[in-house]
Structure 1
């Protein structure tokens, strides 16, 4: 019974990383913060870039640890049931929990690396944050002097085609598709539910708030993810025995 899983920001809130659109979300509390996630604003406005680097320096991801929900997905993989773990998150907590990197499909990239938007140089995030701490408010690329940002997908940027193709293959080739901690309103990630349904998979949604796909799901779980996902994974493992 191959299972593909899509995770969103809600799976990491128990690790101390706030989501974006929830009642206590980053953008709910501070709508102006959403500007830092827009590529056109980031490129055009040095102040937006300076705000972004300050936010990266203070990001809770640097102190976060995997929680019970991340660990449950490791159990799913060790049981031989995990087809792929597709994530909208940029925190790498799945890998830190023990999920195999080759199983994890990072739709939106990772905050642990920095990319130059001119020459594509990739640099470890700690190296660039050290420059920010030393006084560079908007550190340019050390190779070409271009604008740098975290190696993540911003609004206005397309997902990498090979990453999206891998996610679509995973959605189309599973028997159960589990969406965890995601509002299922951001495309193309949300559309993976439709890909799975069209291929005959069962859809299970674990999320605190209603989603547009709830009416198509075989099961909708609104309980806290840290408790609900381990229980669901155990159900899947027991059903496969």
Structure 2
């Protein structure tokens, strides 16, 4: 209930996203979240269960927030009452420059840093008093507002464009590093492979290992994604992405 309420509050404040990307925790996979996504027509993307390497964005964010929460609780003797500092920690995270994008998440979202935003320092009542003298018939002031909005949108767009460029460069660097570390697992384009399928026969527990077997369908290696995933093409032309560690070459079997 708390998670769905928090997500709904964010949507009402900033607008709905196109995609909600989560893991398979019970907080996100339930009837309330499903109703919320249906109401706002949001596509809910969930990573594969117990495979954190295929949902790197979610796992990386969770890791950072978990470290910030635990270290703050320890330093302030809060006895791990993290709920009392979650808003302060997330605000700190959103105001910190990310090493991949070279921008703070707040700036990518709003086009400026958190300490430059007027609505952080003033209440709604104070803002109304500040802008009360704005006369819609005054063309100079109206033009100033329009020019500011145009500049604002240009700043947001250019910031996001640069962030994507920096992210692409970081992905390429990670791909090269991944290829070098796992060069024995790199397949050739056109090579025929089969997938290792992992299924869970232990419905009541997650403590046992997954049952592993090979898929009977044959795939052709078509290419590689920027994150190091192998792009496969099935015999019926369907494309999927798979981790190289979950593939076996028919040429070596």
Taking structure 2 as the reference length, what is the TM-score of the superposition? 0.27
- The one of the two structures with greater contact order (alpha-carbon pairs below 8 A, sep at least 6) is 1
* Structure ID, larger Rg: 2
Taking structure 1 as the reference length, what is the TM-score of the superposition? 0.28
